[in-house]
C-alpha cells in the first residue's frame, strides 16, 4: 500500500511539472538566444533608456552630451567598458569590426567608457588601440550603469563588459554580462531581427 501511494505521488509530481512546462510561454526573442547567444537574458519588463545621456564630445571647457533618444529608429548594442578591464580592449576590437560590417542607419554599437570620466583620454585610448569605426562615448555621471547593477530585474555577474540590446524605440530587449561573438550567425540573426523590427 505504501509503495502504491509513493507511485501516485511521483506520478502527480511528473504530471504537474509537464503541465507547468507546457504552460510556459516562449517570448518572441527567445528563438534568437541560442548557440553563441545561449545564456543571454531577455529583459522581462519594460525599461526605456531614451532619456539616458552619454558624453559625445568635449570643447575644452564643457562636456557635450546627447540623449539616446537622438538615435531613435536604430537598434543599439550598448556596451559598458573600463580601461582597467583586461578583456575590454580585445572585445572593443571585436565590436569595432561589428560596427564596420553591420553599422548603418538601423544599427549602431555604442561603447560607453565608464572609467575616468575623461572624454579626451577615452578618445585617445581608442585611437591608440586602432579602433576607428566605433563612436567615442563617455558615461554621464555613471548613472545608468550603477542603476542597472542595482536593478533586481538584471542578473549581472562580474564586472565590465556588460552589454544591452535596445530596439529602435529605446526599449531594453536583452542583456549579457559576458563577451559574445556578435559576428557569428546567431549574433547577426538577432541584430538583423532588431534592425527589421521583427521581434514583438
CATH number, residue 78: 3.40.30.10
pTM score of the predicted model: 0.82
Task: Report d(CA 116, CA 119) in Å as an integer.
Answer: 8
Burial class (CB in 10 A: 0-12, 13-18, 19+), 7: exposed
Q: Is 183 inside a domain boundary? A: yes
Task: Report d(CA 54, CA 68) in Å as an integer.
Answer: 7
User: Which letter does DSSP use for residue 122 in this model?
Assistant: H
Q: Is 179 inside a domain boundary? A: yes
Q: Identify whether the C-beta of residue 99 lies closer than 8 Å to the C-beta of residue 133.
A: yes
Count of domains for the chain: 1
3-state secondary structure of 106: coil
Q: Which of 193, 195, 177 is nearest to 185 (CA)?
A: 193
Q: Which residues pair with 174 in a beta bridge?
A: 42, 165
Q: Is 200 inside a domain boundary? A: no
Q: Is 66 inside a domain boundary? A: yes
Task: Report d(CA 140, CA 147) in Å as an integer.
Answer: 12
Q: Is 59 inside a domain boundary? A: yes
Q: Is 12 inside a domain boundary? A: no
Output the pLDDT for position 133: 97
Write out residues in the chain with pLDDT < 50, as ranges. 1-24
Q: Is 22 inside a domain boundary? A: no
| E-assigned strand segments in the chain | 41-42, 53-58, 63-67, 75-81, 107-113, 137-139, 162-166, 172-176
Domain limits at 138? 27-195
Vertex 158 angle, CA 24 and 173, to 5°: 40
Rounded alpha-carbon distances, angstroms, from residue 14 to 29, 42, 86, 182: 28, 28, 47, 39
Q: Is 75 inside a domain boundary? A: yes
Amino acid at each position: 500500500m505504501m509503495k502504491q501511494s509513493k507511485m501516485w505521488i511521483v506520478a502527480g509530481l511528473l504530471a504537474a511539472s509537464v503541465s507547468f512546462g507546457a504552460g510556459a510561454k516562449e517570448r518572441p526573442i527567445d528563438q534568437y538566444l541560442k548557440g553563441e547567444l545561449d545564456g543571454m537574458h531577455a529583459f522581462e519588463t519594460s525599461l526605456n533608456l531614451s532619456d539616458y545621456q552619454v558624453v559625445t564630445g568635449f570643447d575644452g571647457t564643457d562636456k557635450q552630451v546627447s540623449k539616446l533618444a537622438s538615435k531613435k529608429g536604430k537598434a543599439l548594442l550598448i556596451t559598458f567598458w573600463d580601461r582597467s578591464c583586461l578583456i575590454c580592449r580585445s572585445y572593443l576590437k571585436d565590436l569595432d569590426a561589428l560596427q564596420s560590417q553591420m553599422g548603418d542607419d538601423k544599427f549602431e554599437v555604442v561603447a560607453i567608457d565608464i572609467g575616468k570620466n575623461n572624454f579626451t583620454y577615452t578618445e585617445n585610448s581608442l585611437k591608440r588601440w586602432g579602433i576607428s569605426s566605433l563612436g567615442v562615448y563617455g558615461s554621464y555621471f555613471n548613472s545608468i550603469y550603477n542603476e542597472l547593477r542595482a536593478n533586481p530585474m538584471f542578473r549581472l555577474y562580474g564586472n565590465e563588459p556588460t552589454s544591452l540590446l535596445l530596439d529602435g524605440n529605446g526599449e531594453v530587449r536583452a542583456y549579457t554580462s559576458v563577451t559574445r561573438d556578435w559576428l557569428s550567425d546567431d549574433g547577426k540573426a538577432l541584430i538583423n531581427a532588431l534592425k527589421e523590427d521583427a521581434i514583438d
